[in-house]
Structure 1
Amino acid sequence: MALQRILAVDDEPFNLEILEEILEDLNFDLLTASSGPECLEIIETFDPQVILLDVSMPQMNGYDVCRAIKANPETHHIVVMFVSARGSVEERMEGYAVGAEDYIVKPFGQGELKSKLMNLSQMLLDKDILEQQVEDATSTAFDAMATSSEMGQIVNYIEQISQVDDVSTLINAMIKCLSSFGLNCNVEVRVDTQRLHFATSGLCSPIVVELFDILKSKGRLHEFTSRILVNYDLVSVLILNMPNDENKHGRIRDHICFLVSVTEQQLLAIMTRKELNTQKDNLDNALTMINGKFKSLMGMLNTNRRQNESVFRSLQERFESKIPTMGLDEDQEIFIFSNVDEAIQNSVAREEAIEMVQSAFKEIEGDLSLLTDKS
């Protein structure tokens, strides 16, 4: 703020009149005091930006007054310029030692005093700018620290849930992460035709459950007063105590949306793994059943092959023992033996086909066993 309020302190009324005349055309709000104690009393209500302070005064000299001003946390910011008839190096050093910002020696010219006051005015403006920069830098630093801490919580949450396979464990981990930001939240999860509810306090109130139902299909984000509702297909989160600070509010809102998005994806992963496990169990059961049927069929084929061998072996033995005693001529015997031989050859061919089928079944059985192991 530019210089506006000045307090002149001198025990000589004539000196105060000169100061009033010099400053008259500068439109400063000027008050005067004739002693150190009066000066200290006035600054409690007037709050001057600059004090033109005489050094040589009775009761309390200017150095003592300056010490008192600079020692008080409520007034130490006031700029003090000593006005003295003595201007030796030692006296100037004493003035600066007690905290004064400037020093002017009587008698002084009108231009000299105005120039010094203009410099002090610029100094006040620069000081305000610097203080604002420091305040902004401090705020930025604290925001950066807060963001870093919050991001650390989010990273920990993501790492924690990467191996979670249980819905309740996942949602409780998200609630714990949001609680680390000081947030009071309610959560609805919609899986397997069920609506599951979780809350920081442990239970969702009926009105919150109703709110979830009303707003679940009304868009991604709803903000009202200090509350915010974030909707995804499977997860909805209601925060009841969003911060009032605009910067923090926006930062926390972004964190919430990101956390709900990550939680939604992890929930989808859990459901996918659950479905895949169910499919694997069904496939294992089907493979076990098919494998059993193949083994049963191969057993039947083996039994049939052995029975055929036994039948044809018995038939061949009977013909070989009976035909010579039947009194048949040579052509008849050849006819019978050729037909028997043809039947045996046909049987052998069928056995070879059965062996090929058995070989194919064994390959299929091996493939099923390999598929079962991989699944």
Structure 2
Amino acid sequence: MALQRILAVDDEPFNLEIIEEILEDLDFEVKTAISGQECLEIVEAFDPQVILLDVSMPQMSGYEVCKTIKSNPDLQHIIVMFVSARGSVEERMEGYSVGAEDYIVKPFGHSELKAKLLHLGQMLLEKDILEQQVEDATTTAFSAMATSSEMGQIVNFVEQVGAIQDVSELADALIGCLANFGLSCNIEMRVEGERLHFASTGMCSPIVVELFEILHSKGRLHEFTSRILVNYELLSVLILNMPSEDPDKHGRIRDHICFIVSVTEQQLMSILTKNQLLSQQSELNGAIKTIHSKFTGLLSMLNNNRSQNEAIFKRLQELFESRIPTMGLDEDQEVFIFRHIDEAIQSSVAREEAISQVKEAFSEIENDLCLLTNKDGTP
């Protein structure tokens, strides 16, 4: 703020007239006081930016007045310039020790006083700028600390949520994360055709449930008064107490909420996908067991047929070997019969090899199915 108000204090009215005359063309508001006591009586109401303070005054010296002003937290911001007929180093040091910012020695010229006041005015401007910078820096620092703390909460949530594999547990974790931001919420999760509801207070009210149903397909973000509704495909979150009185915090928290809900939506999709895969795997395991049972039955039947065929051919061979020599056949006839018996036996052996190939094929199919379920070769 530019220099506007000056209080001149001197027990000599003539000196005050001179000061007023010097300052009349500088567009300052000037008040005067003829004693230290009068100065203290009007200083709070007038709130001068600069006091031109005579050092040598009866009853209460300028040093005492300055000390009183600087000891008052409401007044210590006022700049004090001592006006004295004596300007020794000791006196200047005394003025500095009680808190004065400047010192001018009587008699002084018009230009000297004006130059000093203009310099003090520049000091006020720079002081205001510095105070604003400090305030801005402080605000930024506190905002950065708040944001850092909030980001810490978000990082913790992201790290923990990946291990959650239950829908209700996921909802509780989301409620807990938002509670760390001082937020109360309602949640709807749309899972396998069902609408599951959770709330910080334990239960969603009927109107909130209706609100979820009406708005979940009407856009990503809805804000009304101190409430905000965030929608994703499987998840909707209604925040009940946004910090509307602080626009910066409100915007920051809104961004945090959108990110947190997005992460929760992804984990919910992961849980549902995993549950679906587990269900499919269970169905596949059942199918593998059924196939294994059927394969086992078929192989058992083939083994029985093989054993029966072996027994039949063995009996037939023994019968022919014992009876043909007694049947009075010539050699060509015996050769003919034995050749056909050998061909039948060879054909049976070929069928045995085919059965072995079928068994190997069955075994390979079972192994391939087991690999699909990440299991070993035993169903």
TM-score range, shorter chain: over 0.9
Distance across 1 between alignment mates of 2:186 and 2:348? 78
RMSD: 1.6
Cα separation, 1, equivalents of 2:60 and 2:263:
71
In structure 2, relative to structure 1, the CA distance for the partners of 1:185 and 1:366 (3 Å cut) is closer
Distance 1:137 1:367 in 2: 67
Contact 1:153 1:177 in 2 (8 A): yes
Distance in 2 between the 1:140 and 1:357 partners? 78
Cα-to-partner distance string for 1:294-336 (whole Å, 9 max, x where unaligned) = 1221111111001001111111222222333344455544443
- Name the structure 2 match of 1:83: 83
Tell me, yes or no, if structure 1 residue 306 matches structure 2 residue 307.
yes
| Paired residue type of 2:306 | R
Q: 1:237 to 1:367 in 2, by over 3 A?
A: closer
Segment drifting more, 319-328 vs 28-37: 319-328
Q: TM-score, normalised by structure 1?
A: 0.95
How far off its partner does 1:237 sit? 1.2
With 283-292 and 356-365 compared, the bigger mean Cα shift is at: 356-365
- Asked if structure 2 preserves the Cα contact closer than 8 Å seen for 1:212 and 1:236, the reply is yes
User: Which deviates the most, 66-75 or 245-254?
Assistant: 245-254
Structure 2 residue 82 is matched with structure 1 residue 47:
no
Look up the match of 1:106: 106
Residues 288 and 366 in structure 2, CA contact (< 8 A), matched pair in contact too: no
Letter in 2 for 1:156: N
Partner residue in 2 for 1:32:
32
- Counterpart in 2 of 1:280? 281
Q: Distance in 1 between matches of 2:231 and 2:349?
A: 73
1:212 is aligned to 212
Partners in 1 of 2:214 and 2:366 — Cα distance? 55
Cα shift at 1:122: 0.5
Give the secondary structure class of the aligned counterpart of 1:25: coil
> In the TM superposition, what are the counterparts of 1:34-183 in structure 2 within 5 Å?
34-183=34-183
Q: 2:363 corresponds to which residue? A: 362
Q: 2:281·2:373 contact (CA, 8 Å) conserved in 1?
A: no
Aligned to 1:15: 15
- 2:148 maps to amino acid: S
CA contact (8 A) 2:228 2:240 kept: yes
Q: What residue identity is the alignment partner of 1:208?
A: V
Secondary structure class of the residue paired with 1:26: coil
Q: Which moved more, 1:266-275 or 1:241-250?
A: 241-250
Verify the 8 A CA contact 2:6 2:28 in the aligned structure 1: yes
Q: 1:297 is matched with which residue? A: 298
User: Aligned-pair distance for 1:341?
Assistant: 3.0
The one-letter amino acid of 1:199's match is A
Q: What is the alpha-carbon distance in structure 2 between the residues aligned to residue 210 and residue 221 of structure 1? A: 17
Structure 2 counterpart of 1:81, one-letter code = M
Distance 2:127 2:27 in 1: 22
Native 8 Å contact 1:294 1:365 kept in 2: no
Instruction: State the alpha-carbon separation in 2 of the partners of residues 18 and 26 from structure 1.
Output: 14
1:232 aligns to what? 232
Change (3 A) 1:152 1:115: same
Asked whether the equivalents of residues 287 and 372 of structure 1 are also in contact (C-alpha less than 8 Å), the reply is no
Provide the rounded CA distance (Å) in 1 between the counterparts of 2:242 and 2:60.
56
Higher deviation after alignment, 154-163 or 199-208: 199-208
Give unmatched runs, 5+ long, in structure 2: none
Contact 1:291 1:368 in 2 (8 A): no
Contact kept? 1:2, 1:121, Cα under 8 Å: yes
CA distance in 2, matches of 1:356, 1:182: 71
C-alpha distance after superposition, 1:137-161 (max 9, x if no partner): 1111111111110000000001111
Distance 1:207 1:247 in 2: 30
* Deviation string, structure 1 residues 354-375 (Cα, Å, up to 9, x no partner): 2222233333344444554448
Q: In the aligned structure 2, how far is the partner of 1:219 from the partner of 1:366? A: 49
Matched, 1:340 2:337: no
Report the equivalent of 2:260.
259
What are the ranges of 5 or more consecutive residues in structure 1 without an aligned counterpart?
none
Structure 1: how far apart are the matches of 2:192 and 2:360?
Answer: 46
Q: Distance in 2 between matches of 1:129 and 1:99?
A: 22
> Number of matched residues?
375
Q: Distance in 2 between matches of 1:98 and 1:299?
A: 113
Tell me, in whole angstroms, the C-alpha distance in 1 between the residues paired with 2:219 and 2:294.
54
Q: SS at 2:25's partner residue? A: helix
Instruction: Give how far 1:221 is off.
Output: 1.0
The answer to whether the aligner puts 1:353 opposite 2:354 as a matched pair is yes
Residues 234-279 of structure 1: per-residue CA shift (max 9 Å, x gap): 1111112211212111111111111011111111111111111111
Aligned equivalents of 1:262 and 1:371: distance in 2? 30
What is the alpha-carbon distance in structure 2 between the residues aligned to residue 223 and residue 363 of structure 1? Answer: 61
CA distance in 2, matches of 1:214, 1:368: 46
Q: 1: CA distance between counterparts of 2:85 and 2:142?
A: 50
Q: Does structure 2 conserve the Cα–Cα contact (< 8 Å) formed by 1:83 and 1:103?
A: yes
* SS of corresponding position for 1:6: strand
